[in-house]
């Protein structure tokens, strides 16, 4: 069965988004492996940069990130492409010299709000691969932001918990227009190109794909 996204506003299962998720044991069960495969398919379809198991209604400490050319082009602190990578039982700690930086974040689980979320610019990530190998590394910039967002999900925190009253925030329709105006000419051209390319490959019968494309179009055409 295809996975469904849980949203804080609309899902009967929404309390799963605000509870800590359970630790995963190794070796992974067949069920966990299937969940990971389905989450990977969904994240690729949605063209998102990250996804956590509670967002599909499963209270397990499984997250994944996927940072591609679009993010590199549109984010000033995104430098490296990160292929689709799965992390099990992930945790982070800010480095001693980490600074707080604000940047746009949206969330598949939060329909009504987007904004400039404060995050650490440098973290130590501790996690496991799906094979059970321990990972411990220093992560910076946009990748660190995405990891903090996804690890928040397994701890029961959403962007609405991180957005303080001083943060620029609001309904995505309004915020996307502001966000688009912040881009330089070259970045706006990239957004247009991405949308045209996606229009060609979007399957009109696939709800998730159509939704992802419409979100991007909104980003472009609210600029007036
Ligand atoms: Zn999210």
Tens of pLDDT, residue by residue over 166-188, are 999 998 878 888 888 888 888 88
Rounded to whole angstroms, how far apart are CA atoms 78 and 71? Answer: 7
pLDDT computed for residue 180 by the predictor: 82
Rounded to whole angstroms, how far apart are CA atoms 214 and 222? Answer: 12
Whether 150 is catalytic is yes
Rounded to whole angstroms, how far apart are CA atoms 148 and 128? Answer: 16
Q: Identify whether residues 66 and 157 lie together within a single domain.
A: yes
Q: Does the pLDDT at position 59 exceed 90?
A: yes
pLDDT computed for residue 224 by the predictor: 36
Q: Identify whether residues 81 and 119 lie together within a single domain.
A: yes
Determine whether 205 is exposed, middle or buried from the number of CB atoms within 10 Å of its CB (0-12, 13-18, 19+).
Answer: exposed
Instruction: Among 132, 151, 170, give the residue marking a domain's end.
Output: 170
More confident residue, 164 or 200: 164
Indicate the pLDDT class of residue 1, thresholds 50, 70 and 90: low
Q: Does the pLDDT at position 222 exceed 60?
A: no
CB atoms inside a 10 Å sphere around CB 146: 24
Q: Quote the percentage of the chain above a pLDDT of 70.
A: 96
Residue with tokens 């992930």: 90
Mean pLDDT in the chain? 91
Catalytic hit among 69, 150, 197, 199: 150
Q: Identify whether residues 158 and 197 lie together within a single domain.
A: no
Q: Identify whether residues 148 and 205 lie together within a single domain.
A: no
Helix (H) or strand (E) holding 123, with range, is strand 122-128
Say how many Å lie between the CA of residue 210 and the centre of ligand 1.
19
What DSSP designation does 109 have?
T
Say how many Å lie between the CA of residue 55 and the centre of ligand 1.
7
Q: Identify whether residues 216 and 177 lie together within a single domain.
A: yes
CA 92 from centre of chain:
16
What pTM, to 2 d.p., does this model score?
0.90
pLDDT computed for residue 199 by the predictor: 84
Determine phi and psi for 192, rounding to 5 degrees.
Answer: -60, -45
pLDDT computed for residue 187 by the predictor: 87
The C-alpha R_g of the chain, in whole angstroms, comes to 17
Q: What is the pLDDT of residues 66-109, one digit of tens each?
A: 999 888 888 889 988 999 999 999 999 999 999 999 999 999 99
Indicate the pLDDT class of residue 219, thresholds 50, 70 and 90: low
Give, as residue ranges, everything with CB less than 5 Å from ion ligand 1. 107
Q: Identify whether residues 160 and 194 lie together within a single domain.
A: no
Q: Identify whether residues 109 and 218 lie together within a single domain.
A: no
DSSP bridge pairs for 127: 135
Q: What is the pLDDT of residues 150-160, one digit of tens each?
A: 999 999 999 99
Helix (H) or strand (E) holding 138, with range, is strand 134-140
Say how many Å lie between the CA of residue 165 and the centre of ligand 1.
19
Tally of domains within the chain: 2
Domain with 186, as residue range(s), is 173-224
Say how many Å lie between the CA of residue 7 and the centre of ligand 1.
10
Between helix 207-221 and helix 30-46 the angle, nearest 10°, is: 40
pLDDT computed for residue 223 by the predictor: 45
Say how many Å lie between the CA of residue 159 and the centre of ligand 1.
7
């Amino acid at each position: 069965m295809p996975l469904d996204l849980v949203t804080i506003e609309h899902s009967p299962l929404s309390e799963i988004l605000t509870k800590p998720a359970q630790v995963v044991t190794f070796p992974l069960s067949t069920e966990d492996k299937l969940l990971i495969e389905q989450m990977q398919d969904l994240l690729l379809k949605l063209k998102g940069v990250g996804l956590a198991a509670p967002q599909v209604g499963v209270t397990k400490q499984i997250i994944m990130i996927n940072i591609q050319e679009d993010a590199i082009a549109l984010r000033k602190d995104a430098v490296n492409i990160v292929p689709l990578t799965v992390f099990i039982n992930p945790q982070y700690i800010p480095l001693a010299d980490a600074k707080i930086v604000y940047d746009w974040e949206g969330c598949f689980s939060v329909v009504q709000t987007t904004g400039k979320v404060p995050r650490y610019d440098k973290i130590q990530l501790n996690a496991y691969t799906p094979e059970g190998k321990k990972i411990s590394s220093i992560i910076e910039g946009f990748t660190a932001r995405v990891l903090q967002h996804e690890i928040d999900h397994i701890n029961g925190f959403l962007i609405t918990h991180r957005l303080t009253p001083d943060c620029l925030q609001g309904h995505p329709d309004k915020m996307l227009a502001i966000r688009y105006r912040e881009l330089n000419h070259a970045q706006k051209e990239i957004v247009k190109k991405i949308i045209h390319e996606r229009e060609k490959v979007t399957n009109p019968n696939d709800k998730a794909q159509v939704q992802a494309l419409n979100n991007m179009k909104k980003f472009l055409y609210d600029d007036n």
